[in-house]
Amino acid sequence: MAHQIAVFAENKPGRLGQVTRILAEAGVNIRAMTIADSGQYGVIKLLVDKPGIATGAFKSAGMAASQTEVLAILMDDQPGGLYRVASALESARINISDAYGFIVESKQQAVLVLDTDDAVQVLSLVSGLGLRTLTDDELYGL
C-alpha cells in the first residue's frame, strides 16, 4: 500500500510555501497533492517519494503531520475507468472516505488514490476487475 502524508496548516498566505520548502530541503519529491480548506485551518495531503523522511521533516519543523496507508489503483486513462471502480465499490457497499487521482501521461494510465473503510475488500475487488494497486516503489517512481 502507498503512504499519504497529511499536514495540518493554518489557512494563511505562505503555508504552502513553507510545506514545499520543508520537502525541498529534505530532498523529498511530491508526486500528487490536494488541499482541503476548512476555514481557519486546512489539510494538505501529499504523495511523496520518501514518506518517512517527509513526516519526520514536518515534525522537526513543528508542524502537525500524519502518515496513513492509502490504495493507489492503476487503471487505463479512458472514459468509464473511474466509473468501473466506483460502481464495484458501491455494489460491495464500501464507503470512500477520501479520493483523488492523477494521470501518468507517458503511459496513458491513471492512478486513483483511495482511503476506504475496507482496504482488504477493495484489493480483492480491484483484482477481480483485472486492475492492480501500485506498490510504494512503483508509485513513487512515476
**What are the pLDDT digits (tens) for 9-66?**
888 888 899 999 999 999 999 989 999 888 888 899 999 999 999 999 999 999 999 9
What is the model's pTM?
A: 0.84
Cα three-residue angle 17-59-1, rounded to 5 degrees: 90
Q: In the listed set 69, 99, 120, which residue is the last one of a domain according to the structure?
A: 69
**What are the pLDDT digits (tens) for 109-118?**
899 999 998 8
Residues 64 and 79 occupy one common structural domain: no
Alpha carbon distance 90, 53 (integer Å): 36
Mean pLDDT of the chain: 91
Domain housing 91: 71-140
At residue 78, φ and ψ (nearest 5 deg) are -150, 160
The CATH code of the domain that includes 101 is: 3.30.70.260
What is the radius of gyration, based on Cα positions, of the chain? 16
Residue type at 16 in one-letter notation: L
Q: In the listed set 44, 69, 94, which residue is the last one of a domain according to the structure?
A: 69
Residues 46 and 98 occupy one common structural domain: no
Cα three-residue angle 70-14-44, rounded to 5 degrees: 10
Using pLDDT thresholds of 50, 70 and 90, give the confidence band for residue 106.
confident
Alpha carbon distance 60, 54 (integer Å): 10
Torsion angle defined by CA atoms of residues 99, 3, 112 and 23, in that order, rounded to the nearest 10 degrees: 90
**Per-residue confidence (pLDDT) for residue 33, from 0 to 100:** 93
Is residue 35 a contact partner of residue 42, using CB atoms and an 8 Å limit?
yes
The CATH code of the domain that includes 14 is: 3.30.2130.10
**What are the pLDDT digits (tens) for 93-105?**
999 999 999 988 7
Residues 11 and 62 occupy one common structural domain: yes
Count of domains for the chain: 2
Cα three-residue angle 139-55-104, rounded to 5 degrees: 20
Is residue 73 a contact partner of residue 111, using CB atoms and an 8 Å limit?
yes
Residues 44 and 82 occupy one common structural domain: no
At residue 122, φ and ψ (nearest 5 deg) are -65, -40
